[in-house]
Structure 1
C-alpha cells in the first residue's frame, strides 16, 4: 500500500489505484510465445490458450523465437538451398509488433549455415549457432580416423556473435569454434595428439566414433548466456553433454587456451552429461540422451545460474523424457575447479520432473524447459505439441496443446513465457518534426473488461511504484506522471484510459507536436499501464515499461 499524494487524489480513478487487493496468480502469469515447426506464423497465447497476437512470415522457422527486452521478436528463419540438416535455419530476423522486419540477416553461404537457436545478449548483439562447412580432409588433418568418416563433408559447429549494422546487414564481433579445441589419440603426427582423459578442456575429434553420412559432428542445438560470469553454455546431443566456455575473450583468445576472465581462452571451462566423451567413463556413465533446450536459469528466478535441460530419451522401461535442474560447479569467480583424474559434478540433478506415468511424457527430439519467476517450470514436449507448467512438487497447473497449423504437423521446438504486456512503435521521436507514437496493450483474456490506464514518468523506472501488490515500473513523484494520471485521453494523449477488449487488448497514443518540446531534448519518457478490476477497483496488473527518448 502506498501513501496518497495530492496528485493521486486528483481523480476518483486514483483512489481505486490505492485499494490493496493482490489475488494469488497460479499458474505463472504471462504470455507464452512459440512457433510451430511447420508454420510460418509465430503465436503469443495467454493462460486461457487464446491467441492474443501473431506474427506472419514468409519463411519457416529455423527454429527458435524469443522476445527481446523491448518487445521486438527475434526469430531464426529457414533459407532455401544449402544445408538442410535437422534444425537448419539460415538467417536471423527481428520484427516489430506489427510484423515489420527491422532486421533480416542471411547466414547461409559456402562457409557457414546458421541453425537451431539465436539469443539476445545484454549489449544488444545476437549470439547464434552456425555449422562450418568443412571437408573430410579437414577432419583427417585434425586427427580424425578416416575409417570413421561416412562421406566427403565435415560439419562442426561454431558460436558466433553478430551486431546489427543495417536492415539486412550485420558484423561478426566474436566467434568460438569447436575445431580450435581438439584432442585426439589416433594420429601421433598431429600437434593435438595426447591422452584424451587428461584434457577435459578439449573435444575428442574421434568421439562419437561413428557419424552420419552428412558429416555433421556435434549437432549443437541450443546456446545460453550467463551475464553474471559472462559465459556461454553450448549443448551437443550427439555427444550427450553440454559445455560452458568463456565469452569475455576476444575472437583470437577464443581460438586459443589463454585470455579472458578465466585465463583459459576458449577451452572448455566445464562439461557435463557424458564422461565417455572425454575418456573418463563408459556408456554406463552417460546421463544425457539426445537432450535439448539446455539453458541457464535466468537471474532473479529460483535456481538462478543452474542449468535446466530437457533429457529427451531416458531409458525405461518405458522410454520417456524428463526435465532436470543441475547445479553447475562454479565457485564465486566463475571458475570450475577439477582435481586431476576427476570429472565435474553434480552426481545427480537437484530437481527432476517425471510424469506420474512416465511413458505419457516422451518427446524423442525437439523440446525445452523454462523456469518461471514463481518457481514453476514451463515445459515444451515438442513432438507431442504439448506445453505445460509444473510446480516444484511436480503438480501440473497449466497445459496447452498446439493446434497450428490447420493442416500439417503440430510439433513445437520451444516455448517461452514472458511478463511483457506493452509495446510501442517508436523508441525515439524528433522534437523538431514531432510524431504520433502508438502503444499496444496486450494483457490477455483473463483481463478482458478491466479498465486500463497508460501512465508515464520522466524520472526513470526504478525502484517503481508499488500498487495493490503490483509494481508499476515508473518513478514518482514526477510531473509527467501527474499529467498522465490527471489528464488521460486529453491531448497529447489519446485512448490512454479505457476498457480492455475480450482478449485483454487496447491501443493508445501520444502525439508530440512538431517544434513543441524543444526543452525536452535528451529526456526519456517511460510508459507503463495498469489494469484495474472493475468490480473491486483494485490494480490487477502492472505492465512492463517502454521508453521514448526525445531527440533533436
Structure 2
C-alpha cells in the first residue's frame, strides 16, 4: 500500500516527458547526403522504434506525418524533403526533391525541384532547399531558390553582389496527384515582387526612405556572395509554417535574423502585387520581427533573433502559449556563442493584420519565454539547423542538430531527464550524426471521431470499470487510450483518475 502511494505521488509530482510519437530523420554520421537515410517514428521516450521508412536520399530538414481522411496512424502519409542527385544550386540545407510514402514505405509520389520547371512560365532555374509545409488539403508549400542573373537582378535594384548571381526566394504550392504521380503548381510567391531600394531612382521600387516601407525587403541588406556555402544565397530561408485559421505563412531567414509573415489567401497574381487577399496587402509582409534595422527602424536593442531556425505557430489549443510564435535561435544576439529557444507574442489584430506604430518597429520588444543553452542548462547550441516545438502538455521539444540530441523541457524551462537520468530525451551516438529537427505528434492526432472522454470501455457510461482501465494504462498493463487523458496534458496519471471520480460522484 505504501509503495502504491509512493507510485501515485511520483506520477503527480515528477517531471514527465510528453508521451507522443517522436519523428525525425538523421543526417551526417546517422545517414545523409545523396546516399540515403532512414526516418524513424519512436515512442515518446525515444526508446522504442514504432516504424521506420528507408530513403535513397538524405534529409534536407525534417519529415512530416500527414493525417488523411482515414483515421488511424497506419493510414497516415510521410512527407519527406530530401537531397536530390540533380541539384543545380548547392548550399546549406540543399534539397531538391519531395517524396510521399504510405505507412508501408511504398513511394506514392516524388517531385524534383532542381532546374527549370515546366509548370512555371519564366525560364529561371529553381532549387528546393530546407523545409516544406504540408497543408490540410494535402498540398505542399515549398521553399525554393530562384536563380537571377544580372540581366534580371539589376532591374530590382540589387547593388551588393560579388559573383553576378542572386539566389532569390520563391514559395511554391504543389498539388500532388497520388494516383497519377503528376504535380500542379497552384500558387506562387516571389520576394523579388516585394522589394524597396534607395539606390536607383529610375526603378519602380525606389523610395528615398527605406523606413517608410517595413512591408518590403531592401535588396541591399547583406552582401550577396559573402555567405557560407553557396555564396549566391541571399536570405537563406530555412523554415516555413502555416496557420490555417489565419491563412498565413511564416518564414525564417537566417542571413537576415528575421521572420516574415505573408498572406496565403491571395491568388498568385495578387501575391505578386501590394493588394488583395484577406489582408488587402497582396504578397507584402504582414509582419516581420527579429532585426528591424533591416528596414531602417529600431536599434541594436531591438535585435532579438540570430541565425534562427524552426519558426512555427504554437497550436491554439495548447494552454501554454497557444497562438504565439516559437523558434530555435542559433546565436542569441546577447550571447552569440550560445543558442536559445524563444517564444514571443505577435501584435495580431482582429482583422488578421499586425499592429505597428508610425516610425517604430513591429513589437514585441522582448521575449515572452526563453530557455538558453547557458548556466546549468545543457549546451544545446548548434551551428546548423535546430528545432523547437511546443507540445500539447506545455513542454517544449528542442533539437540540437550538430550533436544529434533531442531535449524536452517543462513549462519552466527545466530539462526533463531520460530513464538513464541524463538531461536529454534521445541522442544518436554516431560520429558526425545530425538531427535537423524532431517533432512529436499527439497520440490521438491520427484518430478518427473520438468517443466519450473517460469512457474507456465504450459502454456509454463512466463508472468504476473505467477507473480500473485507467489504472491499467498507468501501470502499463494496457495500451495508451486518449479517452483516459481527461485534462488533455498528454500524460495519463492519477490526476485523470481524480477527474473521472468527480464525474462519477458529482456528474461534473
Structure 1 length normalisation: TM-score?
A: 0.72
1:537 and 1:342, CA in 2 relative to 1: closer, same or farther beyond 3 A?
Answer: closer
1:169 and 1:411, CA in 2 relative to 1: closer, same or farther beyond 3 A?
Answer: same
Q: Residue by residue, what CA displacement relative to the aligned partner does 1:346-392 show, whole Å, maximum 9, x if unpaired?
A: 01011001243368231122101000111110011111221011011
Separation (CA, whole Å) in 2 of partners of 1:164 and 1:312: 34
Q: Residue by residue, what CA displacement relative to the aligned partner does 1:505-543 show, whole Å, maximum 9, x if unpaired?
A: xxxxxxxxxxxxxxxxxxxxxxxxx99838979865226
The answer to whether the 8 A contact 1:274-1:287 is kept is yes
**Unaligned runs of at least 5 residues, structure 1:** 1-21, 425-459, 478-529, 545-552
Taking the TM superposition and a 5 Å limit, the aligned residue runs for 1:100-179 are 100-110=106-116, 111-145=125-159, 148-166=160-178, 168-179=181-192
1:367 match: 386
Size of the aligned set, in residue pairs, is: 430
**Greater mean deviation of Cα atoms: 311-320 or 291-300:** 311-320
1:321 match: 339
1:502 match: none
How much has 1:416 moved relative to structure 2?
Answer: 0.2
Does structure 1 residue 262 correspond to structure 2 residue 253? no
Name the Cα RMSD after superposition. Answer: 2.9
The answer to whether the 8 A contact 1:531-1:541 is kept is no
The answer to whether the 8 A contact 1:318-1:359 is kept is no
Separation (CA, whole Å) in 1 of partners of 2:371 and 2:474: 39
Does structure 1 residue 45 correspond to structure 2 residue 42? yes
What SS does the aligned partner of 1:113 have?
strand
Does structure 1 residue 305 correspond to structure 2 residue 305? no
The answer to whether the 8 A contact 2:345-2:364 is kept is yes
Separation (CA, whole Å) in 2 of partners of 1:90 and 1:537: 43
Counterpart of 2:102 (choices 90, 96, 100) is: 96
How much has 1:465 moved relative to structure 2?
Answer: 2.1
Q: Residue by residue, what CA displacement relative to the aligned partner does 1:35-79 show, whole Å, maximum 9, x if unpaired?
A: 112321111222343241211111111122111124211110111
The answer to whether the 8 A contact 1:240-1:273 is kept is yes
Taking the TM superposition and a 5 Å limit, the aligned residue runs for 1:389-428 are 389-398=408-417, 399-403=424-428, 408-420=431-443
What SS does the aligned partner of 2:480 have?
strand
What SS does the aligned partner of 2:143 have?
strand
The answer to whether the 8 A contact 1:319-1:359 is kept is no
Separation (CA, whole Å) in 2 of partners of 1:68 and 1:184: 41
Separation (CA, whole Å) in 2 of partners of 1:238 and 1:534: 48
2:34 match: none
Separation (CA, whole Å) in 2 of partners of 1:536 and 1:394: 28
What SS does the aligned partner of 1:360 have?
coil
How much has 1:210 moved relative to structure 2?
Answer: 4.7
The answer to whether the 8 A contact 1:402-1:410 is kept is no
2:404 match: 385
1:318 and 1:113, CA in 2 relative to 1: closer, same or farther beyond 3 A?
Answer: closer
The answer to whether the 8 A contact 1:244-1:270 is kept is yes
2:266 match: 249
1:348 and 1:282, CA in 2 relative to 1: closer, same or farther beyond 3 A?
Answer: closer
1:549 match: none
Taking the TM superposition and a 5 Å limit, the aligned residue runs for 1:61-72 are 61-70=59-68, 71-72=76-77
How much has 1:318 moved relative to structure 2?
Answer: 7.3
1:253 and 1:56, CA in 2 relative to 1: closer, same or farther beyond 3 A?
Answer: same
What SS does the aligned partner of 1:397 have?
coil
Structure 2 length normalisation: TM-score?
A: 0.78
How much has 1:186 moved relative to structure 2?
Answer: 0.6
The answer to whether the 8 A contact 2:251-2:259 is kept is yes
The answer to whether the 8 A contact 1:229-1:333 is kept is no
1:371 and 1:535, CA in 2 relative to 1: closer, same or farther beyond 3 A?
Answer: closer
Separation (CA, whole Å) in 1 of partners of 2:189 and 2:91: 21
Does structure 1 residue 340 correspond to structure 2 residue 319? no
1:198 match: 212
Separation (CA, whole Å) in 2 of partners of 1:420 and 1:112: 38
Counterpart of 2:26 (choices 27, 36, 60) is: 36
What SS does the aligned partner of 2:428 have?
coil
1:431 match: none
Taking the TM superposition and a 5 Å limit, the aligned residue runs for 1:462-501 are 462=450, 464-467=451-454
**Unaligned runs of at least 5 residues, structure 2:** 1-9, 32-36, 69-75, 117-124, 418-423, 461-468, 484-508
1:289 match: 306
Separation (CA, whole Å) in 2 of partners of 1:237 and 1:326: 18
What SS does the aligned partner of 1:204 have?
coil
What SS does the aligned partner of 1:140 have?
helix
Separation (CA, whole Å) in 2 of partners of 1:535 and 1:312: 38
1:326 and 1:315, CA in 2 relative to 1: closer, same or farther beyond 3 A?
Answer: closer
The answer to whether the 8 A contact 1:532-1:539 is kept is no
Q: Residue by residue, what CA displacement relative to the aligned partner does 1:237-276 show, whole Å, maximum 9, x if unpaired?
A: 1111011011100011000011100011111000000011
